[in-house]
Amino acid sequence: MNRKLLFVFLLLAVFVSALEIVLQRHETRILFSVLQELQARQNEIDREWGRLLLEQGTWSTHGRIEEIARGKLNMTLPSVDQLFRARS
């Protein structure tokens, strides 16, 4: 009787271990899938960041700022008689 009980216990332990391995592999596959999705999203964000840096560089050029100052704010360069030099 004692050997049968030991055999059943060991058989149950092997079954539980096998089931745990299957569950761990399934969880690993799911987590790997999530990791790939997050890496893809990170790549998208990095590309968008690069585009935004280029756009910022375009919008902040001196020519663009001068164009906006002249067009929207009616700013012009001062004439020579409007200039003065401040002494320090």
> What is d(CA 61, CA 63) in angstroms, rounded to the nearest whole number?
5
Residue 5 has a pLDDT of: 94
Instruction: Give the N- to C-terminal CA distance of the chain in Å, as an integer.
Output: 107
Cα 5 to its chain centre, rounded Å, is 56
Each domain of the chain, given as residue ranges in start order, spans 42-72
Q: What is the pLDDT of residues 15-60, one digit of tens each?
A: 999 999 999 999 999 999 999 999 999 999 999 999 999 999 888 8
Question: Which two tokens mark 48?
Answer: 């968008």
Question: Which two tokens mark 13?
Answer: 């332990």
The more confident residue out of 68 and 44 is 44
pTM above 0.75, yes or no: no
